[in-house]
Amino acid sequence: MGTYTKPYTYVNGTIIDATGHNNNEQSARVWCNDEIVPTDIKDNSLDRTDLGAYRYYAPNEEFDGFSKTIGGTINTTTFINRAYFTTTAKTNRMGVKNVRNWQAIPNASYEVSVDRSNAYFFITGYLKAHTNANLTGIIGGNGQHILSNEIKLQIEDLDAGIQGVSDQTGDFVFGANGTYDPTQSDYDAGAGGTAASDRSITFSYYGLINGKGRKRFSIVVDPKQEIGYITAKTFVVEVFYI
């Protein structure tokens, strides 16, 4: 497209030239129907609202912008107070080695609806995790050993009924005190005292999730500790369509 040049100029007192007039009409028609190129567009001519139908939910300080948009973001910056997890097993292995008992943390999940099959998700979060002292046994000293509470991101395809946890996001918070069983090769918090029972956790997840429809992302914990809680400081889900 580029620059338009008028072929014929009208002058007062001069009979209009039919060919010149037709050339003006024809060139204007071609120019207007040709392709728009970057030089035809003034800087900053497109506002963000032109590109995305973003909605703002004031109560939760959340944004979303998915349908037909370039990308989408949903996030929270309001922390969620003390969402508790618990286990009644009070043992180091929940009874059986490698058994997982993932519990979703209340209010620390988002549901996203995507309208394109190939959408890339980027999810980041910052959490504060805490466990209380386990009451079944107290052995202090070098490390608190096997009372590891594993925290991950759970991904669900709600339409297909598929559920899984992401290995990209495994983190731990440990019991303040616990029974040490040297025959079990499990995670060792290492530090003495109570430091391992309060941990800042950041995680990031990236993945191509096929299939349109609803997905849900949740922070889940596999608790081996009696009682604990997680405070989600930030939790951001971004969708890239391109």
Query: Counting beta carbons within 10 angstroms of the beta carbon of residue 138, is it exposed (0 to 12), middle (13 to 18) or buried (19 or more)?
Result: exposed
CB of 196 to other proteins, least distance (A): 7
Nearer to other proteins, 78 or 142 (CB): 142
CB of 154 to other proteins, least distance (A): 16
| Neighbour-count burial for 99-123, b at 16+ CB within 10 Å, e otherwise | eeebbbbeebbbebebeeeebebeb
Nearer to other proteins, 68 or 135 (CB): 68
Instruction: Return the number of other C-beta atoms located less than 10 Å from residue 161's C-beta.
Output: 7
Query: Counting beta carbons within 10 angstroms of the beta carbon of residue 40, is it exposed (0 to 12), middle (13 to 18) or buried (19 or more)?
Result: middle
Nearer to other proteins, 199 or 215 (CB): 199
Tokens describing residue 237:
């889900």
| Residue numbers at the binding site for other proteins (CB under 8 A) | 3-6, 9-12, 14, 16, 24, 28, 31-32, 36, 40-42, 44-47, 49-51, 53, 68-71, 116, 120, 122, 124, 126, 142-143, 148, 167-172, 174, 187-193, 195-196, 199-206, 240-242
Nearer to other proteins, 51 or 160 (CB): 51
97 with 181: CB under 8 angstroms?
A: no
Q: Give the whole-angstrom CA distance, residue 106 versus residue 140.
A: 32
The answer for residues whose C-beta is within 8 angstroms of residue 164's C-beta and 6 or more apart is 154, 155, 156
CB of 61 to other proteins, least distance (A): 20
Count of all residues that appear for the chain in the document: 242
CB of 123 to other proteins, least distance (A): 10
Place of tokens 């998700």: 121
Nearer to other proteins, 79 or 172 (CB): 172
CB of 225 to other proteins, least distance (A): 14
Nearer to other proteins, 47 or 182 (CB): 47
CB of 72 to other proteins, least distance (A): 11
Q: Output phi, psi for 172, to 5 deg.
A: -135, 150
